[in-house]
Amino acid sequence: MDLRTIDASPSAEERLAVDSVLGAPESGWFGGERTPLDGHVAIGGLSLAESRRHLLLPALHALQARVGSISPAGLGYLATRLDLPPAEAYGVASAYALFSFEPTPSVVVHVCDDVACRAAAGGDPTDELAQRHGPAGSGTAVTWWPSPCLGHCEHGSAALVQVAGVRGGRGSIAPFAIGDMDRLVAMGAELDVEDLAVPLALVPQAGAGSTRLLRRVGQVDPASLDSYRAAGGYRSLRRALDLGPAGVIAELKDAKLLGRGGAAFPTGAKWEAVARNPLRPHYFVANADESEPGTFKDRVLLDHDPYALIEALTIAGITTGAEKGFVYLRGEYPVAARRLEHAAAEARNRGLLGVDVMGSGLTFDLEVRQGAGAYIAGEETALFNSLEGRRPEPRNKPPYPVDRGLFDKPTGVNNVETLLSVLDILAVGAAAYAAIGTPDSTGTRLFCLSGRVEHPGLYEVPMGTTLGALLEMAGGVAGGRPLRAVLMGGAAGSFVGPGDLDLPLSFEGVRAAGTTLGSGVVVVLDDTVDTTAFVGRIAQFFRDESCGQCVPCRVGTQRQEEILGRLAAGRPLGSVDDELALLADLDQVMRDASICGLGQTASSVVMSALRRGLIGNGAPQGNGRNP
Amino acid sequence: MTTLAPAPTPVALRRRIELSIDGEAVTVAEGTTILQACRTLGIEVPTLCYLETLAPVNVCRVCVVEVEGSRALVPSCSRPVAPGMVVRTGSERVRTSRRMVLELLASSVDLSTAGGDVHRWIDEYGANADRHGPAGGPTARDRAHAGHHEASAVGEAATVAQVVKRDNDQYVRDYSKCILCYKCVEACGEEAQNTFAIAVAGRGFDARISTEFDVALPDSACVYCGNCIGVCPTGALMFVSEHDLRASGEWDESRQEVTRTVCPYCGVGCNLELHVQDNRIVKVTSPLDHDVTRGNLCVKGRFGFEFAQGG
Amino acid sequence: MYAVDPRRSTSAQWADVWMGIDVGSDIALANTVGREIIRAGLVNTEFVRRATTGFEEYAEAVEPFTLAEGERLTGVPADLIASLAHDYARADRAQLCWTLGITEHHSATDNVLALCDLSLLTGHVGRFGSGLVPLRGQNNVQGGGDMGALPNKFPGFQDVENDDIRAKFDARWGVSVPPTRGWHLSQMFDAMEHGELRALYVLGENPAQSEADTPRAVHLLEGLDHLVVQDIFLTKTAQLADVVLPAALAAFESEGTVTSSERRVQRLRPALQPPEGARDDLEIICELARRLGSDWGHPSAEEVWDECRSLSPMHTGMRYDRLESLGGIQWPCPSEDHPGTPFLHGRLWAEDPDKRGNPAPFMPVAFEPPLDELSEEFPLRLTTGRRLDSFNTGVQSNGYASPLRRPETLDLSPEDMASLGVGEGEVVRITSRRGSISAPVHLERSLRPGLAFMTFHFPDQVNTNVLTLDTWDPKSGTAEFKATAIRVERLPDAVGAAPVLETAEAG
């Protein structure tokens, strides 16, 4: 490669930030002081550079946290250290929302204005903020920007605070009121994110005894391995080691566990495919890039029961023959990141991770990696690219991850809820697990209730529970107002209406009704919510989160947003019917021709809203039902 | 090691695969893509981001076809054939997606110097850019922050229009004409030049081809091989000579002759195609089907011809 | 990939290992690698036994080159030399590629032989993907040799001193070709010096600027009785000529063939009309012949080529239409149904001893450091080379506005700049045992202390070859451009100016 490095000297802070991730420079050729040996030797080359590239994202995080932005000199130093072309490094970094490339105030507050908080607020949650503290991006010491969903939906408002400095990092505030912003502005650079209170998790069923995935939330000390073990932790790993890989896979198949990530793929079959693949090494990834608007279940589980994921991922690793695992956690979950790191370290200290897991002679270890503000990184192949230090762009499938995934090797990937369900299956046995729920949708399922509901929070119910029963558990519509619609599944989901309360929440139930469980999002809208603006926010979300790789999604999401803007303003191009025809064409090309699920579902909510008369004057299009 | 036998030259002894395309049975070698199979039958499949010398990136999606049993349409440029595959290239679904891809590009990108095929396809598929509204004006796209955007003015169709980048004496970059096919990035990177002076930066509609921090080419790693120009399908990347002749209205391909010869510089033996108008070289390309460099050149071969025409 | 180069060049950035050897220590490195391959038991013994001779002598000759000795002579750590030896020997396929860093030395031919010996030792020759690859710097430097532009060869490397061969050419041409070899370039200049060469016909070369020790070359050219220069430009050499024959540009204005590094013969086709008065080389030569009393008519390029094919067996199958349809053909191509030959020496692997033919001899070579020794007076090692966007003396390449171009500089390591107290862009005096020039300094991190670099692309601005040594390799006639001892001095009016070193820290 014709590496030309950026001709600017990094500051001492920038060097320290990068070196905190990469260690001291190996030689004068890669960022260190020149020595006489450097005159005769350089060890480098493409294969070495490729093998280190995965450290790009962690090092970018370090620069952003310490300096507050990625400067040309900082990126140049990082690129030199990794022997990576600066243009490539810039291309990767600029795909993430949490990195900035211009000098930025040392405190940046990302304020959620996404669907759940919008529904809860009954309007744009940032309006008051803008009036009091100036428009987005203003402010010299402290600034704010609107943000897509931050995963604190049950609180109805949330902010992610990014602070630059020696003790820089990210912290969360939820609920987030205007007074919080006043306080942040007053503190300025004095703020230490570690001092921010950990947001509570609203789990109305906590301690009720009827829950399985949620049973330790609020009951164990998330910092204490002993507390976790006292609550039954690591019994599932013990059982998995006793059963051996074939036994574990048989249990998953008998339990009929389907993945909770949206595609409902049989987990046992996936694990078996990885385990049997002769190519080595294998990897296993926990997808904790929970970014679907309205979803907060991973946050609750990982903030309050982090050891459960460590144990579950360990089981996945030893079952599928992976010695290395990754937790890919969205960058907006700083508390979960700290707690998972701590839990992994404790587990390692106690022989539950590393070269001899629980005395089995088997090796498995894991790393926690954080995203940096990119919904698309939750798509499994984009996630692999992100972990590898490439742009978070989905790959073409096939090949599938079980054949060629992370680092082009066989890879298992499951989301957090699926992995935690494995713990439960191994704890109670496949038969007992399969007895819960419906014959085709076994076990329990988590639902994230937010919006205009009396008791928002994370709920766990057996598969097949009706939507009405779930809403009833949550106290129904807030204030007893009329139900207008429920957004199921998040931004990639669809609406159901007041007539759908008998909808059974099972894979087969929602499929028959033309909707989706998705990531368990249930955003309740009453008659006060401006549904046109609500749907417009979803269109904006896809426009902002498209990776830009394929034409249907890159331009289609832009055009979809424009049309909704015209409809909201009552200024259609031509007739309303022309606009609807255009939306239908966009829907078809995005669904049919996009590379990945983001583009394929980017029009789902919009089309569903049209059918239900939730856009503009409220006249439903078609029969009002999901197809 | 004591191997004595010469290592065998790789021989293509590939399995034959039978499939059906538009109702016609066809047998091709394993590993053939659907696109290649269509071409053996003489079925035209439009392509924009595909080039036979580059690994398919399948991002433009104009080559999609319907494959029975597949939920979504399938990019024919990258999908290998499989036994018994049933492919349809002209169904209404396929035509709608192709029309929309062309329409979305035509409504957001200046295609005025794209190849003739592109305009023919736009007509054939009935792509109508106008129904997306009047085109929005130029914007400063290079500073767009991922996830931050202002909705465009109501009634306007956002475009990628922007100021032409002219920062060196040999070629201009007019990204108002960029369809983001990734070919230039591939050619600058691991598919040919391995210089990595440019990458895709930003995301979504703001995604763009960029050097690090959008620095000018002379401050980047660019080595002016011009291989990016060679693969650009829309004229976004163009010789200064062509750009200026077009600007002055003198560019006239009907008066040009293209002659294939061998580069006068080093000993690699790259073939040049000299595009000559009025006894002056106005552009240099290299044949994709010549296996010495498969369309690629260096700065001397691409631009170093001035000595032959007296400055 | 291992890159061996005194500088960490762009290509070296690609390498898994860059070995920055001391200039001119190539044989020491090769011999050390050879000894280590033998010591580690990694010799391809079957190949060596069946296809080579002289292994014992070779092994004996490289015996003194222990890893420690190799490190002492080359500056490269012993463990890296060992890993190169092991990786090369163990590789399924391996190539040794080189350019002028091997051949522009007084030991040019020996440098090449030392590499050939390694390929014999390991069997990395004559197989698909394995071999020896000299990369040519000009589009037809291979073709020039192929066509007999060598003192002792006819086209197709047929020996002038072989009576049978000569008889074939005599019969076809109707003349009697002199039975002794001629002079190569460096010998010609010596002959000029001794008064044995009095007239010179130069085609498309610019020796007044490209030869080492330029003042001597110009002096000798000026002293000729008659100098004819045929060129597309009025070069510095042409300016010295009695007669200048303006030529059409071979590449863009005439018909013919050239042969690339990989022995591929390809056709040239005219794309431009030559300027008024300039004529095709072929036309000029035929006209010259006619005026010298030998009418060759007006043959087309294809007719000349067909004559060549009829006399040179390795070109016999290369009909114009085949060159066209196959995208060029690699010699040897002995018949019109032959596809050409992608790699040479495959016969060494033949099972049948008759097909295998003569075994390839090991050619042990001794190491001798560069002739222009470093001393207190001349403490810096200057090596010369090319930049990507420029070409030799710049006659072709200086005409276009390359965005990469910068004028000639003396490239120095940051350490040497600091110890000399010179700043970026400061003009300094550079002196070798032959002469003195001045040039601005440029900081170059690819250089280590003690190593300096210049090009010779801009002889009108800085005539680098004033400094270089014209001692040539007796076997190839190539001068030792790559190793010159110099000293660098600040110019009087610059002394006291603050050194500018702000880029020294640049990552």
% of chain C beyond a pLDDT of 70: 97
Which domain CATH number covers B125?
3.10.20.740
Distance from CA of C450 to the nearest CA of A (A): 10
Q: Based on the domain organization, do A505 and A535 belong to the same domain?
A: no
Distance from CA of C357 to the nearest CA of B (A): 16
Q: Based on the domain organization, do A293 and A387 belong to the same domain?
A: yes
Q: How many Å apart are CA B167 and CA C204, to the nearest integer?
A: 35
Phi-psi region of A548 (alpha: psi -120 to 50; beta: other; left: phi over 0): left
Return the ∠ at Cα A88 (arms to A85 and A90), rounded to 5°: 110
Other beta carbons within 10 Å of A371: 28
Q: Which residue has the tokens 């495959």?
A: C346
As given in the structure block, the two tokens for residue C296 are 């060759």
Q: Based on the domain organization, do A580 and A506 belong to the same domain?
A: no
CA-closest candidate to residue C411, choices C398, C397, C430: C430
Q: How many Å apart are CA A200 and CA A179, to the nearest integer?
A: 18
Q: How many domains is chain A partitioned into structurally? A: 5
Chain B neighbours (≥3 Cβ pairs under 8 A) are A, C
The type of residue at A178 is I
Q: Based on the domain organization, do A504 and A548 belong to the same domain?
A: no
Indicate the domain borders of chain C: 2-135, 141-330, 380-505
Instruction: Say what angle helices C26-39 and C108-122 make with each other, to 10 degrees.
Output: 20
Q: By the 8 A CB rule, do C6 and C413 touch? A: no
Q: Is the minimum CB–CB distance between C496 and chain B shorter than 8 Å?
A: no
Other beta carbons within 10 Å of C163: 10
Give a yes or no: residue B8 inside a domain: no
Which domain CATH number covers A156?
3.40.30
Residue A22's domain comprises: 12-93
- Yes or no, beta carbons of C18 and A5 under 8 Å apart: no
Q: Based on the domain organization, do B193 and B280 belong to the same domain?
A: yes
Q: How many helices (H) and strands (E) does chain A have?
A: 24, 14
Per DSSP, the residues of A560-617 read HHHHHHHHHTT--SS-HHHHHHHHHHHHHHHHHH-SSHHHHHTTHHHHHHHHTT-STT
Q: How many Å apart are CA A317 and CA A277, to the nearest integer?
A: 14
CA-closest candidate to residue B169, choices B220, B218, B221: B218
Cβ within 8 Å of B, C 260-299 = 260-262, 264, 266-273, 275
Per CATH, domain C380-505 is 3.50.50.60: no
pLDDT of residue A351: 97
Taking only the tens place, the pLDDT of each residue in A409-448 is 999 999 999 999 999 999 999 999 999 999 999 999 999 9
Return the ∠ at Cα B211 (arms to B207 and B213), rounded to 5°: 85
Taking only the tens place, the pLDDT of each residue in C72-99 is 999 999 999 999 999 999 999 999 999 9
pLDDT of residue C106: 86
- Yes or no, beta carbons of B221 and A4 under 8 Å apart: yes
Mean pLDDT of A505-526: 94
CA-closest candidate to residue A513, choices A501, A523, A525, A530: A501
Q: How many Å apart are CA B302 and CA B286, to the nearest integer?
A: 9
Instruction: Report which secondary-structure segment, H or E, holds C96.
Output: strand C95-98
As given in the structure block, the two tokens for residue A517 are 């469980």
Pick the last residue of a domain from A434, A456, A472. A434
Return the ∠ at Cα B133 (arms to B127 and B138), rounded to 5°: 105
Bond prior to A399 in cis (omega within 30° of 0): yes
Give a yes or no: residue B159 inside a domain: no
In A, minimum Cα distance to B160 occurs at A555
Q: Is the minimum CB–CB distance between A210 and chain B shorter than 8 Å?
A: no
In C, minimum Cα distance to B281 occurs at C272
Q: Based on the domain organization, do B192 and B272 belong to the same domain?
A: yes
Q: How many Å apart are CA A78 and CA A66, to the nearest integer?
A: 14
Q: Is the ipTM of this complex over 0.90?
A: yes
For β-strands C484-490 and C427-432, DSSP reports them as antiparallel
Bond prior to C246 in cis (omega within 30° of 0): no
Q: Is the minimum CB–CB distance between C418 and chain A shorter than 8 Å?
A: no
Phi then psi for residue C334, to 5 deg, are: -75, -15
Q: Based on the domain organization, do B29 and B106 belong to the same domain?
A: yes
Q: Is the minimum CB–CB distance between B105 and chain A shorter than 8 Å?
A: yes
Q: How many Å apart are CA B209 and CA B199, to the nearest integer?
A: 6
Mean pLDDT of C258-268: 95
Instruction: Report which secondary-structure segment, H or E, holds A609.
Output: helix A604-611
CA-closest candidate to residue C177, choices C311, C317, C290: C311
Q: Based on the domain organization, do A597 and A517 belong to the same domain?
A: no
Q: How many Å apart are CA C322 and CA B185, to the nearest integer?
A: 36
Give a yes or no: residue A1 inside a domain: no
Q: Based on the domain organization, do B127 and B180 belong to the same domain?
A: no
As given in the structure block, the two tokens for residue B181 are 């096919």
Cβ within 8 Å of C, A 25-44 = 29, 31, 34, 36-44
Q: Based on the domain organization, do B29 and B101 belong to the same domain?
A: yes
Other beta carbons within 10 Å of B45: 21
As given in the structure block, the two tokens for residue C452 are 């300096």
CB-CB neighbors (< 8 A) of A1 in chain C: 13-14
Mean pLDDT of A464-471: 97
Instruction: Report which secondary-structure segment, H or E, holds C354.
Output: helix C353-356
Q: Based on the domain organization, do B123 and B188 belong to the same domain?
A: no
Instruction: Report which secondary-structure segment, H or E, holds A313.
Output: helix A306-320
- In the predicted structure, residue A2 carries a pLDDT above the cut 70: no
Phi-psi region of A297 (alpha: psi -120 to 50; beta: other; left: phi over 0): alpha
pLDDT of residue C504: 32
The type of residue at A433 is Y
Which domain CATH number covers B273?
2.20.25.90
Bond prior to A175 in cis (omega within 30° of 0): yes
Residue B19's domain comprises: 14-133
Distance from CA of B9 to the nearest CA of A (A): 26
pLDDT of residue B1: 37
As given in the structure block, the two tokens for residue B292 are 């010495």
Largest pairwise CA distance in chain C: 75
Give a yes or no: residue A464 inside a domain: yes
Pick the last residue of a domain from A503, A526, A549. A526
Q: Based on the domain organization, do A54 and A118 belong to the same domain?
A: no
- Yes or no, beta carbons of B105 and A75 under 8 Å apart: no
Angstrom distances, CA of residue A290 to CA of A456, A555, C31, C371, C438: 18, 25, 60, 69, 65
Taking only the tens place, the pLDDT of each residue in A246-281 is 999 999 999 999 999 888 999 999 999 999 999 999
Q: Which residue among B6, B168, B291 sits closest to C403, beta carbon to beta carbon?
A: B168
- Yes or no, beta carbons of C266 and B3 under 8 Å apart: no
- In the predicted structure, residue A482 carries a pLDDT above the cut 70: yes
% of chain A beyond a pLDDT of 90: 90
Give residue C506's pLDDT band: very low, low, confident or very high (50, 70, 90).
Answer: very low
Q: Based on the domain organization, do A522 and A557 belong to the same domain?
A: no
CA-closest candidate to residue B127, choices B91, B96, B158, B156: B96
Give a yes or no: residue B117 inside a domain: yes
Minimum mean pLDDT range among A304-313, A342-351, B104-113, C486-495: C486-495
Give a yes or no: residue B125 inside a domain: yes
Give residue C251's pLDDT band: very low, low, confident or very high (50, 70, 90).
Answer: confident
Q: How many domains is chain B partitioned into structurally? A: 2
Give a yes or no: residue B45 inside a domain: yes
Q: Is the minimum CB–CB distance between C83 and chain A shorter than 8 Å?
A: no
- Yes or no, beta carbons of A97 and B157 under 8 Å apart: no
- Yes or no, beta carbons of A96 and B154 under 8 Å apart: no
Q: Based on the domain organization, do B118 and B217 belong to the same domain?
A: no
In A, minimum Cα distance to B95 occurs at A589
Taking only the tens place, the pLDDT of each residue in C292-304 is 999 999 999 999 9
Residue numbers in chain B where pLDDT is lower than 50: 1-11, 311
pLDDT of residue B12: 57
Query: Residue A553 in 3-state DSSP?
Result: helix
Q: A–C: how many Cβ contacts below 8 A?
A: 70
As given in the structure block, the two tokens for residue A300 are 């609750």
Give a yes or no: residue B108 inside a domain: yes
Q: How many Å apart are CA C13 and CA C11, to the nearest integer?
A: 5
- Yes or no, beta carbons of A5 and C507 under 8 Å apart: yes
Q: How far is CA B163 from the centre of its chain?
A: 21
Q: Which residue among C1, C413, C415 sits closest to A45, beta carbon to beta carbon?
A: C1
CB-CB neighbors (< 8 A) of C80 in chain A: 41
- In the predicted structure, residue C110 carries a pLDDT above the cut 60: yes
Per CATH, domain C141-330 is 3.40.50.740: yes
Q: By the 8 A CB rule, do C244 and C229 touch? A: yes
Mean pLDDT of chain C: 92
Q: Is the minimum CB–CB distance between A540 and chain B shorter than 8 Å?
A: yes
Helix, strand, coil in percent for chain C, rounding step 5: 35, 15, 45
Q: For A359-363, which contacts have Cβ atoms below 8 Å and span 24 or more sequence positions?
A: A360/A241, A360/A318, A362/A241, A362/A318, A363/A323
Other beta carbons within 10 Å of C237: 25
- Yes or no, beta carbons of C76 and A76 under 8 Å apart: no
Q: Based on the domain organization, do B186 and B104 belong to the same domain?
A: no
Q: How many Å apart are CA B114 and CA B56, to the nearest integer?
A: 20
CB-CB neighbors (< 8 A) of C414 in chain A: 34
Stated pTM of the model: 0.94
Give residue C500's pLDDT band: very low, low, confident or very high (50, 70, 90).
Answer: very low
- Yes or no, beta carbons of A574 and B131 under 8 Å apart: yes
Q: How many Å apart are CA B226 and CA B169, to the nearest integer?
A: 12
Give a yes or no: residue B4 inside a domain: no
Q: Is the minimum CB–CB distance between A6 and chain B shorter than 8 Å?
A: yes
Q: Is the minimum CB–CB distance between B23 and chain A shorter than 8 Å?
A: no
- In the predicted structure, residue A601 carries a pLDDT above the cut 60: yes
CATH class of the domain defined by C2-135:
alpha beta
Angstrom distances, CA of residue A272 to CA of A267, A420, B176: 9, 18, 49
- Yes or no, beta carbons of C15 and A7 under 8 Å apart: no
Q: Based on the domain organization, do A344 and A372 belong to the same domain?
A: yes
Mean pLDDT of chain A: 94
The type of residue at C49 is R
Q: Based on the domain organization, do A469 and A599 belong to the same domain?
A: no
- Yes or no, beta carbons of B299 and C127 under 8 Å apart: no
- In the predicted structure, residue A375 carries a pLDDT above the cut 90: yes
Taking only the tens place, the pLDDT of each residue in A10-49 is 999 999 999 999 999 999 999 999 999 999 999 988 888 9
Mean pLDDT of A496-510: 96
Q: Which residue has the tokens 């990458």?
A: B199
As given in the structure block, the two tokens for residue C460 are 């009108």
Q: Based on the domain organization, do A501 and A535 belong to the same domain?
A: no
Give a yes or no: residue A421 inside a domain: yes
Phi then psi for residue C246, to 5 deg, are: -70, 125
Give a yes or no: residue B76 inside a domain: yes
CB-CB neighbors (< 8 A) of B77 in chain A: none
Per DSSP, the residues of C394-452 read STTGGGS--TT-----EEE-HHHHHHHT--TT-EEEEEESS-EEEEEEEE-TTSPTTEE
Q: Mutation test of the interface with chain B: which of A291, A538, A554, A567, choosing the one with the most B Cβ atoms within 10 A? A: A554
Q: Based on the domain organization, do A384 and A481 belong to the same domain?
A: no
Q: Based on the domain organization, do A379 and A463 belong to the same domain?
A: no
Distance from CA of C123 to the nearest CA of A (A): 26
- Yes or no, beta carbons of A5 and C12 under 8 Å apart: no
In C, minimum Cα distance to A29 occurs at C507
Q: Is the minimum CB–CB distance between A1 and chain B shorter than 8 Å?
A: yes
Which of A91-95, C174-178, C395-399 is predicted most confidently? A91-95
